[in-house]
Amino acid sequence: MTSRAAVQSVVLLLIGGTLLRIAWSGTYVRYVKPGLQWYLVAAGAVLIAVAAVNLARVLRGRHDHDHDEHHDHGRFEPSWLLVAPALALLLVAPPALGSYAAAHGGTALNPAAASDFPPLPDGDPVRVSLLDYASRAVFDQGRTLKDRPVTLSGFIVVAGERKYLTRMVITCCAADARPVKVGLAGAVPPDAGADAWLEVTGVYTAQTDQDPVDDQPIPFLSVTAAHRIPAPKQPYES
């Protein structure tokens, strides 16, 4: 059996199995958008199929065995290094990005942007995304939010005496994630520390803060009710 080909096949098998595992278990949403699930399934299946074909060829002795041991051994280590990330995802899936990443990232809102915002849906309180609330508060000066109780959810980022409700917004995957932050005023649970997930209900307030990372405005919500919630299956907004 050719060592190089066998190692490459095992690496492909592990990576393909990892993709299938995170796709079927749902943990893939910690890394990419929900709409990419079937792409991960397809990619994992292709990798496993390629690995199976390669292993079959190795077992049938169709690979060249003319490499000397020293030449073959030198290729073992780089090949096996590729196994480490796959094993990490298989054994201990990293959590979604949280308060540390958010605290070190500038807000995803850009005050130079402009848009027309439709009225909020009927029903009070109305559930809106953190990105929608922050965009309406900053770009529309809260005109479509006034006198309407809203419900938001996110995790806590603590900065000094301030607490910000935060969600990471992604375009494609966690690699391009940026935080959207909404400052909390009013009835904020005192025991809500960093990374605690909250569902809060409140009303628009004109209070703002400045993000220390990129100097962009952070809107606030005047909280009337709040309670702890578990981290959602889909932690990111897009």
Same domain for 215 and 140, yes or no, is yes
d(CA 160, CA 145): 28
d(CA 25, CA 226): 30
Task: Give residues with Cβ within 8 angstroms of 61, minimum separation 6.
Answer: 1
Kindly compute the dihedral angle of the four CA atoms of residues 118, 119, 123, 124, in this order, to the nearest 10 degrees: 120
Domain count, the chain: 2
pLDDT of residue 55: 80
Helices (H), strands (E): how many in the chain? 6, 6
Domain that holds residue 53: 3-94
HSE-CB at 9 with a 13 A cutoff on CA atoms is 18
Assigned domain for 236 exists = no
d(CA 185, CA 175): 31
Give the domain-ending residue among 70, 94, 118. Answer: 94
Same domain for 12 and 90, yes or no, is yes
- What are the pLDDT tens digits along the chain (238 aa)? 456 777 777 778 888 887 887 778 777 777 777 777 787 788 888 888 888 888 888 777 754 554 444 444 445 455 556 666 666 666 666 677 888 888 888 887 755 455 678 899 999 999 999 999 999 999 999 999 988 999 999 999 998 889 999 998 887 777 778 899 999 998 888 888 999 999 999 999 999 999 888 888 999 999 999 999 999 888 888 7
Same domain for 70 and 169, yes or no, is no
Give the domain-ending residue among 33, 64, 94. Answer: 94
**pTM to 2 decimal places:** 0.70
d(CA 179, CA 164): 11
Same domain for 116 and 86, yes or no, is no
For residue 35, the one-letter residue type is: G
Tell me whether residue 67 is exposed, middle or buried, using C-beta atoms within 10 angstroms of its C-beta: 0 to 12, 13 to 18, 19 or more.
middle
Same domain for 106 and 218, yes or no, is yes
Q: To which residue do tokens 């595992």 refer?
A: 21
